[in-house]
Structure 1
Amino acid sequence: MIKFFRKIRQGLLSEHKFSKYLLYAFGEIILVVVGILIALQLNLKSENNKLDAERQNYYHQLLDDLNKDKVYIEETIATLDSFRSDYNKYKETFKAPNINPNQVLENVFQLEVASKLIEFNYSTIETLENTGDIKLLAPHIRNKIANLKREQDLIMKISFSNDSNKNTILEQASLLVGSSTLTERLNNQPDLTEFLKSEYNYPKLFLVMEAMHEWKKASEDKTIKSLSELLLANNELTELITKELED
């Protein structure tokens, strides 16, 4: 093709048709420029298709993470609701007159003392932030993701703080009963048992456990409220990403 154009130029020059040569040369330049533009356009289209494929892949990964978080949030709320239900049933026992103190102490010890620590999956979001690919996402989706992550971070921070505070209260309870094996070891130690007279600590122990469970329930109420709001944000972001994929 290059030899073909060269022969045309040489022919025009040899025939002293300079004006036609200039016109031809100009046309050849236009042709080269158009070819370059077409090549750039094709390259740009290829790059855009590649970026769009990456964007679509991230959207699908985010949807998968959001779905897992949704299931996790719903299960966590159900667990916390179960804790609250048990505590409410415990409080209902006080409606009976003259309940036995030992039975009340036994009832409060049957309540779940373990907390539900909140943790979320950040794998896709962290990949987007670490690689800088977060810029591939639509601005309104980036903003929603940032807001969602802030809410998740706050809920996890409060969850760990609440668990730490609860454990501090439990430490006070443990000081009133000794180790978990002390009662068993006191079976053949009547003098030591009389000396310790653990029943004198029962009122304090009961009050500590009562305070802990009331505080635990209050913190779980707030966590459920926060998780419910997070669930709404999760659903909203899921709808936005789904719409982006459809468009």
Structure 2
Amino acid sequence: MSIKRDKSIIFSGLYAESYDLLYSEKDYEAECDFIESIFRIYSNNNIKNILDIGCGTGGHSLILARRGYRMYGIDRSPEMIKIAKHKARIQKLNGRVYFEVNTIQNLNLKIKFDAVMCMFNVLGYQTTNEELFTTLCVVKGHLKSGGIFICDFWYGPAVLCQKPECRVKFLKRGKETTIRIAEPEVDMIENIVSVKYNILNINNKSLIGKTEELHRVRYFFKPEMEFLMKKAGLRLLKMFPFLNYDGEISERTWNVMSVAKV
């Protein structure tokens, strides 16, 4: 069965339904350990409430809520938020975590947070300077004085040096097999990788679901990120390889983390 969807909509339909399975190898617990270590290093305040921008199905928010933080997660995908809310109910975390459908550029919660996070390359989906700058201004506007901003993104020198490749992922769940085919194309003028994702769901050798999404993901360079953060009122404190605080970024570092502060 093939379902035609608006190709401008991403993380919807079968992709949203398969999201947790597709990224089941992602170690959210370890990532949350690392996020907490960043809090201990940089925060002068006791971190209590955190805004999770682009929260997806709640992978980070739910864990941090279980650890005692008050979490507020937003995502533009209604289907991803529906899954996140369902998981929160099952885990009985409704009092500690709140999820809502919203876009970054329109966000105005009238709440200040001790920390804001944009994980799993959420910044990369801000493909124009205007979108990125607006996002950073929104982050700054939702942070308390001394608040911490943590994010990760694709690092330009690594993308250009290593070049993204076509990848195929097979995942089995009972009698069903989910296949994800990722076909990337690099635009070195606009600094964007366009990735065409095809998701196939197969049961007993029969195709029971299929969807296609085009994800346009921007990669960044340190000078532009530093400049735009400063212009938005954020101070970039450190940039390092993903989950490797003491490491040095290079043309081999595809995924970079950064910490900034108001």
Larger gyration radius, structure 1 or structure 2: 1
Q: Classify the TM-score, shorter chain.
A: under 0.3
Structure in which a larger fraction of residues adopt strand: 2
TM-score, length-normalised on structure 1? Answer: 0.22
TM-score, length-normalised on structure 2? Answer: 0.21
Relative contact order, higher structure (CA 8 A, sep 6+): 1
